Amino acid sequence: MDIFPEMQRYGYEQVVLCHDRATGLRAIICIHDTTLGPGLGGCRMWTYPNEAAAVADAMRLARAMTYKTAAAGLDLGGAKAVIIGDPRTDKSEGLFRAFGRYVQSLQGRYITAEDVGTTVDDMDIIRLETEFVTGTSAAGSSGDPSPATAFGVWRGMKACAGAVWGEESLQKRTVAIQGVGSVGYHLAEHLADEGARLVVTDIRADKVERVVKEFGARAVDPDVVLDVDCDVFAPCALGGVLNENTIPRLKCKVVAGAANNQLATEDDARRLAERGILWAPDYVINAGGLINVADELLGYDRDRAFRKVGDIYHNVRRVIEIASAEGIPTSQAADRMAERRMELIGKLKHKYIPRGR
Ligand code: NAD
């Protein structure tokens, strides 16, 4: 991949290659777009096959963050970092401090966070070198994002229910949850409290047992969850779960879940729409964890953060409205919603306003 043509094509602002000889750090920080504010995005640590793959991943993930923050209504842009290395063997205090110094050098244009391969402990080390880090263990940090993500998914699911059945309550609706790990478990709890009927699956028997016992869910095998007769299918495990083979099997009217990158291809959004299934775009409905962690930038307040997460209801509703008014799949409608917000707020920000004293 040639980097500049890619930057030009998608409007990337900055790609920073970071190297530190003493610690062996090799990292890429990619800032896609700061129209709405500083670029927030996790720092992934991964054994990439080559550096081109690492750059491509950082760029792809940074751009996805721009859409996610914009659609979530946050005053933040999109960015992402990757550290090349094996998270099981290559971590050291020096490595993360070296990375933290690079984050600091960007003076707040990039704010880092946990991601695949990095932990709260790593963020604590990064914090020794920069203030531009979230998800640390320090007082006032937002902690595990999963309860917030689950709350947002539940709110978004209700927006879908309102659009499909004219009644947002999920009481007596059957919801099939694929994956009852961190997010799936909390989602099951909200749904059980509301009186929904739960069908659950997981490849881990202990996870299934817990929701069966605590919430009276019915367990099914992982390979049949897509065939279950239900009102809502909630993918909370894997990406790529909605594809040309699985979509024809679905018996639900709504797909709304936490998993990232649920569609195998963009065509799958159309396939779902053609089958009359309403799909809540993943990056809109699963933004609760992001909204929660972003609240740390204001001095974390859990009630305020969860109020904002609750607004995912309105974000999903807006996406559905755009899709139906413009005759497009909800995936495209979500992108348009994000792009329009960036355009509008970007225009506002071009006006010069003298700063207060
Ligand atoms: P998790 O690892 O805690 O839970 C995932 C569960 O899915 C596990 O219990 C796992 O055993 C199960 N699973 C894996 N393969 C399966 C299969 N084939 N069939 C059934 N179950 C399977 O992860 P999580 O934090 O709950 O996240 C779930 C999904 O939501 C992931 O795709 C994640 O990227 C996405 N997500 C999570 C958050 C968050 O705040 N945790 C935020 C945004 C998106």
pLDDT in tens, 166-195: 999 999 999 999 999 999 999 999 999 999
Same domain, 173 and 317: yes
CB 10 within 8 A of CB 63: yes
292 lines ligand 1 (CB under 6 A): no
Task: Tell me the pLDDT band of 357, cut-offs 50, 70 and 90.
Answer: low
Hey, whose CA ends up nearest to atom 41 of ligand 1? 146
pLDDT of 141 strictly over 80: yes
pLDDT, the chain, mean: 96
CA of 282, closest atom in ligand 1: 44
Whether pLDDT at 352 is above 80: no
205 and 119 together in one domain: no
Residue with tokens 């005759």: 327
Whether 269 maps to a domain, the answer reads yes
Residue 204 beta carbon below 6 angstroms from any ligand 1 atom: yes
164 lies in the same domain as 261: yes
- Specify if 132 maps to a domain: no
Query: Is residue 236 in contact with ligand 1, taking CB distance under 6 Å?
Result: yes
117 shares a domain with 163: no
- Give tens-digit pLDDT for 223-237: 999 999 999 999 999
98 and 246 part of one domain:
no
Q: From ligand 1's centre to the CA of 154, what distance in Å?
A: 15
Predicted local confidence at residue 356, as pLDDT? 73
**102: domain range?**
3-67+76-126
CATH of the domain at 110: 3.40.50.10860
pLDDT in tens, 290-318: 999 999 999 999 999 999 999 999 999 99
Instruction: Round to whole Å and give the CA distance between 331 and 350.
Output: 29
Radius of gyration (C-alpha) of the chain in whole angstroms: 21
Please report which confidence band the pLDDT of residue 355 belongs to, taking 50, 70 and 90 as the band edges: confident
Name the percent of the chain lying above pLDDT 70.
100
- CATH number assigned to the domain comprising residue 253: 3.40.50.720
Give the pLDDT score at 139: 77
Residue 312 to residues 68, 139, 151: CA-CA distances in angstroms? 12, 27, 9
So which residues are the catalytic ones? 80
Q: Look up residue 263 and give its DSSP letter.
A: B
DSSP E strand boundaries for 98-245: 110-111, 174-178, 197-201, 218-219, 232-235
Give the residues across from 46 on adjacent strands. 84
Residue 254 has a pLDDT of 98
Model confidence at 1: pLDDT above 90: no
- The length of the chain in residues reads 357
